[in-house]
A and B are shown apart, each in its own frame.
Chain A
């Protein structure tokens, strides 16, 4: 075997804290062979991003410091390199692409200038423009000449990530570090970007370090995998054996938690998590939620004198009903209108059409008349970090809906908050603590407790587990299933994640461009999708099994 392109040896990193240094990465070692794709896989806080930033020497100096170890690029240690020499390595021998294509490009600089600048930084000035255009062509962007003069906000997320890749590969780096490069992208776009990376790896002879939390992406991309947890590498193995015969417990847990599309095939509903008999809905009760011909138009910016830009139809002609104790999944890519639909049924955005909550039309209700209805329907949001007031104790946050609706005395509300905390698997004495003391999963439980405070019959869950690690995600989903079985809750479950939808839902509506393109029982939609778009969505989901990896497509010369 030839010498590795990049070798990380015993890398340890300390965080500076007021209480002295705290180790956040310990004794991490791996080697990257020429032409290899190595995946650093792990959940949040495992140290995978810190490792990559350390290789680039982009760690925030004020807070993180390499305590020990070496990072050798073709034998040369980068840790002690001068800043000037390191700048030549960055973007030259090692390039990096990041998770957020929306924010990773300079918003006030033309695409072309950003590319040219990267080329000039390492390879001199002549023909940089032509080479920049050729790079845009290489990442299969349509109309590269025009893109050169455009600004980032004029491009979609997928295109921006292609630009990032073009920029990273423009100086033919030996190593490309890709930090969650597709996490922020829609699943069909993710599939395109992953394919592109596989193809370009061959064309440019680059080795790749791919950092991801998604075991499906790992299975599709990795030659070898290093599983990380809490700042250490738990296990390193070739991709196939890692998936088929993981040696370490943690790897096994991680793999077991990975949602697999098709896992619920042959069943009609989500898995049962309690033994309690399901309450039957008496015939003739109105559905919890009934939506007919719902449309939402976002008005363009309005000037002083009523001059309006043309409105944008976010949702158009959407109809569905949702019965007690059932879950309807709204699935679709960004911009499909699924979140807007969720907001509209709660009366949070103006809409046209008919929305009946418990049989009562909510259109045109005054805020006062809407109030009792708000008790019946609650929402859980995507980001448990942003949806809790950091200055409000958890108990107060859970009791707040009760206070708003003037229910019970302060003491009653405190008792209720304690009871709700227990209900979602937390301890009642957590009530006096503040959100920052909790993990993401615990915070989402708090949000669920808050939503439950008013004993709603409907909960709109908008990407409620998207921000959580897989292992935590499973437990939160189980909690939601348990609450549904015991309380008869109806969920409007909004997600871009096909596997999560499959696990949670009885019925599914696939949305695209503001319309429902296909709807039916989850079993029907997932097992015999009628629409090409639904099939496309399902096919784009990475399969967490390296043996079923898609054939490498022929590189376009």
Chain B
């Protein structure tokens, strides 16, 4: 046995501190990553589940292979409701993957420099982070990976000491069965790692090693097969891993890469053990940094994350935030355009600033129904704010039902409870609120609302529920996607204080380029609010007058608007693209262009 010299101890201590420092630095980077640029991704994941602290929920999830990992994953995901805590949870889980990888590397290469093993253990973390760039990857996968790696580490720790063949096989069979239940498909990592570890042992014959590897694989296959007889899932779901992503039938190539790297990294540690760390560490770190830089933009798709950002702000009703975001990143998809229009409407700027942003026809004002969660919820939010509470209820319900892994949603159930309260369906509201009482983050809110609905007068006087209830159309009335403008008119006539409906009402025909209808709707508004004369109305009136060869009414249209129209007309008739370009974001350009 080697004796440590005092200098050796000091070096070991300082190396330990350096390692702790590296872990801490990575943790800080991860925490920053999830709290600043990607906080919306946490909210996105949290809203696609409704973790409940009930026995039924526990029993339902833990009955399937990987179910306990799903239960724990969803338990952790609920903390994403608060991104400060959520980011800490996410960081903790990611660091645990790296730490266990590091410990396994130490098992495979005990004589290798610890710094090399540490540098290697960053590889699974980077690959996992790149996999997490797919927003549909759930924490189930991260938890399952940690469990499988922890099981492997435990096995290799026991095997590091002399064990009998019977004990080895017993541990392998029991470990595989237990891990398959706990973590699901990623148990394959355990199977490969313990096989690799068995091959590393010098005292066994090659035949013994092959038999052990074969039995390990058979044991895993037997677990999968036996489970498939009782599970209501196709075999492919089990092989991919139930609950690892929101898409139960799709296997992301990054999942295979992460799993493969978790196996190869300890093997690499054993291979690199004898290489000088002066070469391995810089080489590894260079490769890791290069891979992260090259692959990051592909994994974290900008367009996808912009939509997630919009959705996050819509959920938080952060209207000013949306407008700031849209000023920076030009919205051009139905979800982002409609979120921007909603934000502009909620801040009373839509009837002035609508064409400061790219417009997408009436679909950018109220997107049509799509069997997809985010767009359903954004449209649901528009309906909710407009006072079309039934439609809001429908779209939130549809959005929840469209969650691909059949989860329910805390965000949606909360809105469903609110729509039920507004509609006076208190028994239904109570059902939803009772469910939310079984959660950590919605519990207080649910209790407040349960208290509120005990007295319907309180609902009537509630600033949000009371207002929206009064805005709802009274008579039996069918929703028509093709006649939404008529509904907007009804909403305005029901409550002339419904500014959002009013702004949507005048914008709707303009987006259809239907100036006659616009004039008609302005007439309806003028009867109730004669002084209402927003910028869009002035521009439209000036445009109509010019188009019809009539003088622009200066009592309604200020000189600045008239001048801007004349400037546009001059540019448009010149057909010079560079002169037209400055007017591209204007009502005038929209009305004349076919874009």
A is bound by B? no
Binding site for A on B (CB under 8 A): none
